[in-house]
A = this chain, B = another copy of it.
Amino acid sequence: MEDRLSNLDSEKKIKIINSAMEEFSKNSYDKASTNRIVENAGISKGSLFNYFQSKEKLYNYLEIFSIKELANEISKKVNWEEPDILKRIKEIALIKLEVFSKYPYLLGFFKRINANKSMEELKTIYEKYVPNIYEKVYYENIDFSLFKEDIQVKEVMNILIWTFEKMGENYIKRIKSGEKVNTEEISDELDRYMEVLRKGFFK
């Protein structure tokens, strides 16, 4: 058996992934410690190296896992027929939040990947593991005629995306600090911002 991970108990697997993501998101690759990873994951050194063979392979696994996990969830769950960009963005925000609740250090780990890889390298990886996701997410079947007529679409799109990203970051901060996030409260807040943005930029 090549892949020694798939045999693992799913809860244990998540614990290892989260511990490794935490370590790699807090420290650069060189300074990240496999000792601390096994300690926080509650497994032995030998097991980690049995599952992943080396630190480098662990890191590579995590990289691909992160990219696939988030993109696949979005791919699967979004209603791609919905033409209203605000509804699309809200949907994605909620999916992200769900994934980040399961893997609280995923966003931090993504930021590391982003910092260490050029735009081209990143796009190549995405193209390989989740083809077309870039063009799809905020554009597929979106009805851009819903924007106010005299508005600059590119700028508004960024404002929408950034607003929900910032909200998401704030939620992750709260999740990490141990707070139990109330899904209903979040959905309400997203709706409030949606309403404001709709009034401002849409017909």
Which A positions have Cβ atoms within 8 angstroms of B? 26-28, 31, 148, 150-152, 155-156, 158-159, 162-163, 165-166, 192-193, 195-197, 199-201
Contact = CB atoms under 8 A, between A and B. Distances in A.
Ordered nearest first, which 9 A-B pairs have the shortest CB separation? A200-B200, A162-B166, A155-B196, A31-B31, A200-B201, A159-B163, A152-B196, A155-B193, A162-B163
Contacts of A155: 192-193, 196
Contact of A165 (B26, B166, B201): B166
A203 to B, nearest CB: 13
A118 to B, nearest CB: 9
Provide the main secondary structure of the chain A interface. helix
A35 to B, nearest CB: 13
Contacts of A27: 27-28, 31
Contact of A199 (B150, B165, B166): B150
A156 B26 contact: no
A23 B66 CA distance: 26
Contacts of A148: 199
Contact of A26 (B28, B151, B193): B28
Contacts of A28: 26-27
A157 B193 CA distance: 11
7 contacts: A26-B28, A152-B192, A158-B166, A159-B193, A165-B166, A196-B201, A200-B200
Contacts of A162: 162-163, 166
A52 to B, nearest CB: 22
A151 B199 contact: yes
Contacts of A151: 196, 199-200
Contacts of A156: 196, 200
Contacts of A192: 152, 155
Contacts of A196: 151-152, 155-156, 159, 201
